[in-house]
Amino acid sequence: MRVENKEYRTVWMKGQTVYMIEQNLLPFRFKIYRSKDHFQTAHAIKTMIIRGAGAIGAAAGYAMAQAYLEAGKDNFREYIEKARKTIESTRPTAQNLFYAVERVYRAGKTSVIAAVKEARAIADEDASASQQIGKFGNDLIKEGFRIETHCNAGWLAFVDYGTALSPIYVAHKSGKKIFVYVDETRPRSQGARLTAWELKNEEVPHVIIPDNAGAYLMAKGMIDIMITGADRIAMNGDTANKIGTFEKAIAAREFGVPFYIAAPTSTFDIACPSGNSITVEERSPDEVIYAEGPDEKGKIRKIQVCSPGSEAFNPAFDITPAKYITGIITEKGIISPDSLSIKKLLGL
């Protein structure tokens, strides 16, 4: 993706250092975060310096490779096992994280060089899968379509291209006149801050809407299709995504709006039979109680936006049952959200 006339990936590795776009500062500042070891990379994942399914996976793979590069000969195996636990404890809902860590961990049993190569391969595969998702998803988008999306599943959430936004970018570049309604996606406002920033960069017509405006727009016939990403997909098609996605799916079904999930095959969890088996991450109440933004001098500040003394509950994800999902857009094509289709897709 091009930013300020320069091509970027969301995350990459040079030598032993992992570089990533500091997403907590966007859209107000564009900065590259440098992580010198797996501890710093794990911290970046946990604190959402880097976030989004594919980007988390790529960063986790790089973190595992860093651990192999760091480990000394005397306590090599113990160091690797501890590093794996540290990385996997950062974001429990994100399937891509566990997928990437497992691949690099296994590759590292052959050699340290193999671990680094595997981490880079995972990142390349993520970008390629996102690009293919854009091509398949573009077939669903017709001239004049009004599209709603939730959270950020654009190139910031993956190594490049994204999932939910990838079809939008392809449609826009092909000359289709489209319009995007961007859910703000509280409490961290990934839609208002990140998706809107991406769409503005790409000159895609869009507007930010309150999270609770989706059903209103659908009832008015103002939404033609809704596309979101996913953080984990169970074998029966149940899907974990940013909190608020389930509500949108219910509204979409009520008003006959096609509701699609866009995700690579790495997001499917073959060990997860249904959404009931998905662990939902609960994040700090501070994300609900406080908001961040620049003051008049451009300095990022935190302000309280809720009643002082009240507590907050902050589940980061919800589970959308498969029956509310029209289809899943993958790098191998668009499938129905059912166990038979998923098994066929994964070659099981």
Annotated catalytic residues are 231
* CB proximity list for 191: less than 8 A, separation 6 or greater: 149, 150, 151, 152, 182, 183, 184, 185, 208
Phi, psi of 138 (to 5 degrees): -60, -30
List Cα–Cα distances, 48 to 51, 53, 281, 296, in angstroms.
5, 11, 13, 25
Phi, psi of 296 (to 5 degrees): -65, -20
For 147-185, give the DSSP string: EEE-S--SGGGSSSS-SSSHHHHHHHHTT---EEEEE--
Spatial distance between the Cα atoms of 177 and 158, rounded to a whole number of angstroms: 25
The CB-side HSE value for 31 (13 A sphere, CA atoms) comes to 11
User: Which run of H or of E encompasses 286?
Assistant: helix 286-289
Q: Is the distance from CB of 139 to CB of 35 less than 8 angstroms?
A: no
List Cα–Cα distances, 29 to 26, 197, 308, in angstroms.
5, 11, 29
Is the Cα dihedral 230, 99, 139, 275 positive or negative?
A: negative
Q: Is the distance from CB of 348 to CB of 270 less than 8 angstroms?
A: yes
